[in-house]
Amino acid sequence: MVKIGPSILAANFANLKEEIIAVDKAGADYIHIDIMDGHYVPNITFGPNIIKTLRPISKKTFDVHLMISPVINFIDSFSSVGADIISFHPEADSDPFKVIKLIRNLNCKPGIAIHPDINITKFEKYLSIVDVVVVMTVVPGFGGQKFLNDQVSKILFLKEYKNKHNLSFEIEIDGGINKETGNICKKNGADLLVAGSYIYGSHPKNYKNLIENLR
């Protein structure tokens, strides 16, 4: 069954604690946290202190997506405050292999994220050494964007590559996810769906049904 990771980028920041508790109780598998630095993407969101504050609120997997450059200088900061998965964009750092090794050495699961403009074969060399591959189905930087259908082929490529080489990385899809687009992703091999506006754009009493709809 596909896992669901609500993205707190779409949550009500004035009630962030309650928003995380609500999706936790509603059955979320992961809590997805987007980190943007204003360099790799033209937006700024959270830092390690926010994750440290949120960590006691939920025991669910904290799935941290770094949209920052450079990357390696900040891995320790995020691993030490409670990140379980740390994904990054390989083109944002000079030595992705070193970043992946560091993430694993700090007892986190390493992941890579694929920008819509980048051919996935460019990052094929990392697929055997990561635990998560994030297919971006929007341009990273802002929430609430429309799903990019032309990225679905990357999901299928990853599924076939994973099976062919007997690998176990999770295929995570991030961007524009709703019931319709989620079904498309699942049919092509997605293991995890990140959903922001689809879940947090509703009332908390609806979170459980929305999460189940995505499954």
* DSSP secondary structure string for all residues of the chain: --EEEEBGGGS-GGGHHHHHHHHHHTT-SEEEEEEEBSSSSS-B---HHHHHHHGGG--SEEEEEEE-SS-GGGHHHHHTTT-SEEEE-GGGSS-HHHHHHHHHHTT-EEEEEE-TTS-GGGGGGGGGG-SEEEEESS-TT-SSPPP-GGGHHHHHHHHHHHHHTT---EEEEESS--HHHHHHHHHHT-SEEEESHHHHTS-GGGHHHHHHHH-
Catalytic (active site) residue 34:
yes
Catalytic (active site) residue 84:
no
Question: Which residues lie below 8 Å from residue 67, measured CB to CB, with a gap of 6+?
Answer: 34, 35, 36, 37, 40, 41, 89, 92, 113, 140, 141
What pLDDT score was predicted for residue 143? Answer: 66
Distances (CA, A) of 28 to 10, 97, 142, 150: 15, 31, 22, 27
What pLDDT score was predicted for residue 94? Answer: 94
Burial profile 65-77: b = 16 or more Cβ within 10 angstroms, e = fewer? bbbbbebbebbee
d(CA 117, CA 120): 9
CATH of 3-214, one of 2.30.42.10, 3.40.50.10860, 2.60.120.20, 3.20.20.70: 3.20.20.70
Q: pTM (2 decimals)?
A: 0.94
How many angstroms separate the first and last alpha carbons of the chain? Answer: 7
What pLDDT score was predicted for residue 97? Answer: 97
Per residue of the chain (215 residues), give pLDDT as tens: 899 999 999 999 899 999 999 999 999 999 999 999 888 887 888 889 999 999 999 999 999 999 999 999 999 999 999 999 999 999 999 999 999 999 999 999 999 999 999 999 999 999 999 999 999 999 887 666 789 999 999 999 999 999 999 999 999 999 999 999 999 999 999 999 999 999 999 998 999 999 999 99
Q: Which of 34, 93, 131, 191 is catalytic?
A: 34
Q: Which of 29, 63, 93, 174 is catalytic?
A: 174
Per domain, the residue ranges of the chain are 3-214
